[in-house]
């Protein structure tokens, strides 16, 4: 049991160290701000899809440029895609079921505007689940803060009444981006100060073989 705990500690530390650059938060926040300002498209599907597709390559590019030369490269054991999709679908179904029950008793379940209005709650719950999973993998408290912020802002922006129904969703992305960008930026600056670029002989990593 003690051995399991120690390995779990090593796993969490490795995960934390690989994410210490703050770039994930920074890039995710930038993507969310881009969605909220409708930078890419006014059409909802493109507005959401483009930043999502840009997130991975942009993060990889920045890590190659800034992180790997400083602390090295690590490829973590990836989550099984099947379990990720199952998790998202499960949360989505639970949220839709809860919303359907609430709308049935306190509104009109066929009102599409009501469903649109509560989109921030759905997004907030899915993201809260994702951040909770990151918190459990890393043992870092900041992910619990992000999860709480995501859920809370999702609920608040769904409860508030806006003239244009999608304003709540756009504001949700702005609020999330508004938290993630400054946090990521601060973490990134601290990372650069803490880890100056090492000399070429260390980068080479000769193993003497």
Q: Between 148 and 198, whose beta carbon lies closer to other proteins?
A: 198
Select 17 or 111, whichever has its Cβ closest to other proteins.
17
Residues that bind other proteins (CB under 8 A): 3, 6-7, 10-11, 13-14, 17, 64, 68-69, 71-78, 198, 201-209
Which of helix, strand or coil describes residue 207? coil
Quick one: which of 76, 16, 59, 67 has its CA closest to 194? 67
- CB-wise, 96 or 203, nearer to other proteins? 203
> C-beta of 64: minimal distance to other proteins in Å?
7
Task: Find tokens 């709540």 and name the residue.
Answer: 168
Q: How far apart are CA 97 and CA 103, in angstroms?
A: 10
Smallest distance, Å, CB 80 to other proteins?
A: 13
Q: Nearest Cα to 87, choosing from 46, 55, 134?
A: 134
Query: How many angstroms separate the CA atoms of 168 and 117, rounded?
Result: 7
Position of tokens 């999330």?
176
SS3 94: helix
Task: For the CB of residue 27, give the shortest distance to other proteins in the complex, in Å.
Answer: 20
Nearer to other proteins, 52 or 74 (CB): 74
The answer to whether 16 and 181 are in contact (CB under 8 A) is no
CB of 97 to other proteins, least distance (A): 36
Least CB distance from residue 4 to other proteins, whole Å? 9
CB of 16 to other proteins, least distance (A): 11
How far is it, in rounded angstroms, from Cα 164 to Cα 38?
15
Q: Which is nearer to other proteins, 45 or 77 (CB)?
A: 77
Distance (Å, rounded) from C-alpha 194 to C-alpha 191? 5
Minimum CB distance to other proteins smaller for 161 or for 201: 201
């Amino acid at each position: 049991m003690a051995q399991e705990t120690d390995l779990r500690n090593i796993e969490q530390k490795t995960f934390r160290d690989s994410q210490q650059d703050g770039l994930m938060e920074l890039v995710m926040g930038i993507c969310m701000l881009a969605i909220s300002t409708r930078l890419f498209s006014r059409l909802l599907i493109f507005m959401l899809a483009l930043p999502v597709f840009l997130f991975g390559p942009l993060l990889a590019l920045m890590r190659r440029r800034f992180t790997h030369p400083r602390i090295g490269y690590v490829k973590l054991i990836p989550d099984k895609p099947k379990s990720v999709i199952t998790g998202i679908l499960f949360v989505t179904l639970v949220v839709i079921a809860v919303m359907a029950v609430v709308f049935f008793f306190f509104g009109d379940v066929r009102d599409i505007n009501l469903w649109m209005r509560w989109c921030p709650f759905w997004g907030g719950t899915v993201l809260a689940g994702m951040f909770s999973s990151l918190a459990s993998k890393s043992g870092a408290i900041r992910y619990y803060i992000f999860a709480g912020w995501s859920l809370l802002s999702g609920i608040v922006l769904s409860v508030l009444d806006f003239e244009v129904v999608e304003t709540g969703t756009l504001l949700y992305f702005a609020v999330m981006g508004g938290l993630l960008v400054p946090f990521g930026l601060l973490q990134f600056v601290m990372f650069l100060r803490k880890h100056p670029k090492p000399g070429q002989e260390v980068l080479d990593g000769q193993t003497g073989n």
